[in-house]
Chains A and B, each alone.
Chain A
């Protein structure tokens, strides 16, 4: 063990962001119990929660600056750059959500301090999830994350859609958890361990890659995780839940849950099950292709923007799966980079929705944006940037293009180049131009209609701030992405053999194996 590892081996330090966020959640709850009812308390509770997120981000930055190589871990907990990078992206999403929710909840009269606390608890689950290198911890993280999200979905008690979404999400989520748990049991049965490092060693040593028990576990894990990341054909819940949930929490689901679940899935597949690459490669390939195509095609038919963005988020899960399929350190870096770009664009887009709809959930149809460029030119321009970014368009879409570039690069430069998948990806994103451009055309190329009941003008200075920051960051990193690329890359560099601690490096998973399958 090198000196760095010895200095920070203690779990308390390594769990600092999680601890800050969960303790912060409890403080916010207590604050709500003693503060008087009213809008100002709601605002204070949200501000308190934002402060916690900032503290957690600070702790993460301090822990991350040592940047150990990929796969560094203490027992069940990883402390590599990949974890810190994912944590940073998740905290960014949580911060945007809290800012948005503060003003949304005032507008929608959801005045209570539980929502910010729930956001913090769910963030704690996500943070745990991205650091987990043990099946038990993965399960714990998923459950902590999901339970809070179920409640957040159903927060708006005055709307049937919110309750419908919550129930649907809860039932299907519980169902998928069953798959996950059974899959974990089978993996444990096959390898005799829940620790991902030991699991990788066991699979490599005992040549378990095609062991029936392992394959069964693998399949069930795929089903479970596909529910969480909303991959086709396990995506049915997504549009209803995204539409039903209050808009700020939809954005948290799209950005935070997806990033966390993807990080964990990536770790599980590339790290713990890396030596069984031959067994899961084709499944991931197929999942990616079907998800990209289906998500984009179904998004074309949507009238409601939240549903459209839901299908778009399904499609983005497909793009990220392409990076996983590449099975390389480059692929992991692409996932980190993509998650950042996607979080900025998604949080920005949902902020625009919050602002334009004035907190009224019925007003999130595409037609409600008609002529927005005349009435609110700056907001419309920002929305155009977010749409182009999600589409993966250069310069005007900013960072979104480099996210696609990075994923394609990972797919095409890996040991087994995924040419067909890359072509499916670009064709799918061509389809996506159909609906993203539709939003732009509605905003810019149609005259505004006279609204019989114009949306209430809710105070939206903070939400406007989220929009501005997201748009400026996206555009700046679209012209000069160097720092972000470097950050993504350096946070996922594999351990060189010389620095490996124990005899068996957990990163053997990333070394090319001689049994690479050919192109499917």
Chain B
């Protein structure tokens, strides 16, 4: 396939910037589309958005095809006085997430019916594209300043999506989300500038070289690692920094919940915080704290998920529990556990994202989707029921679905390092089955509490088609995860080995006046 694409003129040199450029410039284009007062504007903006996201997805697929197992990079001058370059890179770690983001956002727009965006549709779709660009930028950036821009850029569209197109309490939930995540990001900003001025530039290459050739003192590394981790862990909603997530996911539109399910935070932790501050990251105490937080996340998230009043909140806490596995895998930092963590990140995006879209469809039909007013829906909506059960099983990590592969890899990879914690995390797998199946049972089976249950329609053909894509991904990756694992293998191994090799060399400090 690679040969064929290359002969067609598909090279990373233009595909890479286009993956980011199409949604970014597209958002400006969509915003400039004529804005009517009624329904006129909605189909146009929506169709243009779908077309642009399809192009983005195709480009991401092409990128997957043309980039060999190593790395592809493009590099342009940007802000020379700061030593910053507009540099994008696709690695085995970022490519699966790039593809995931493009596909999820496309399916998310397709799955949101046109009628659900009742006002200011052009702005809505422009923000969706901007959000896509921000998330893709996080994964593709190979310059810390560019990364930071995209990292923060993500906040604004999400804030507006949750606040304007969410429920009545959306404005408050959006503000909590914005301020909470900004706190972490601002602390990271101080650390970013500190290491950027020490390294004389902001490209990952310069920064990693500095981490190898003249590493900072352990104390400075711990401080900087802490600042980076604060940004990444708040954004990925690790216990105890998770309180904003359930509100933001259930008060916002389904698309915002899907975007929040893409784990940008742990990606940052893995590709930035670990390689730049290896001595701090592999410090025994730091590892133990992170791993314990992960396991606490798994157990606490699962327990809290048991008592939620509606399915969307259950899914929020389920994704907090998934995140616990990711953090456990990263903190154990063996090739298997890190691969497992990455697989969990991809799979959680698929299953949680699919579930949020499915629940959005339900909410669209019924309005009230608390457990107490649902029940027995399997009779009216057999297709919905089948998909929901499959999603729940995949979320719970049933062997044969994608959820199993990642969690299994994390658990066996982390076992030699943290045996006790791994055993405790295993309880989380059982709890997951409990809360998910109980939730499914209350929605689908038993006596119906829906007033006019007979009038509820099953999934439409379009909705079924979208859900089929998710089902295919869940079963496909569950039975044959090799393409994903092979793609990650080289990058993960070099990352793990690189960090372990440099972890032993903390040097004299920066930030304490000792400039070279």
Contacts and interface: CB of A to CB of B under 8 A. Distances in A.
A396 interface: yes
Given A427-B186, A486-B81, A408 B153 contact: no
B305 interface: no
A409 interface: yes
Interface stretch (A136-144, A146-154, A185-193, A412-420): A412-420
A265 interface: no
A179 interface: no
Given A427-B186, A430-B186, A394 B149 contact: yes
Interface stretch (A97-105, A157-165, A275-283, A433-441): A433-441
A482 B79 contact: yes
Interface string B149-180: 10011011001100110000011001100110
B189 interface: yes
Contact of A430 (B35, B182, B511, B513): B182
Nearest to A480: B78
B190 A412 contact: yes
Chain A contact patch, size range: 35 or more
B513 A405 contact: no
Contacts of B132: none
A444 B163 contact: yes
A426 B163 contact: no
A445 interface: yes
Contacts of B148: 394
B112 to A, nearest CB: 20
B426 interface: no
Given A373-B120, A377-B123, A423-B190, A388 B183 contact: no
B156 A422 contact: no
Nearest to B134: A395
B298 interface: no
Contacts of A417: 194, 511-513
B186 A395 contact: no
A429 interface: yes
Given A395-B152, A482-B79, A415 B513 contact: yes
A416 B513 CA distance: 6
Contact of A426 (B159, B175, B187, B194): B187
A393 B80 contact: no
B417 interface: no
B179 A408 contact: no
A107 B415 CA distance: 75
A445 B190 contact: no
A401 B156 contact: no
A445 B171 contact: yes
A485 interface: yes
Given A415-B515, A419-B194, A445-B163, 8 more contacts: A401-B149, A405-B189, A423-B190, A427-B186, A430-B179, A430-B182, A441-B174, A444-B164
Q: Which 6 A-B pairs have the closest CB atoms?
A: A413-B197, A426-B186, A445-B171, A396-B156, A395-B153, A394-B149
Interface of A: 373, 377, 388, 393-396, 401, 405, 408-409, 412-413, 415-417, 419, 422-423, 426-427, 429-430, 433-434, 437, 441, 444-446, 480-482, 485-486, 489, 516, 518
21 contacts: A388-B156, A393-B155, A394-B153, A395-B156, A401-B152, A405-B82, A409-B196, A409-B197, A412-B194, A412-B511, A415-B513, A417-B194, A426-B186, A429-B186, A430-B183, A430-B186, A434-B179, A441-B171, A445-B170, A485-B81, A489-B81
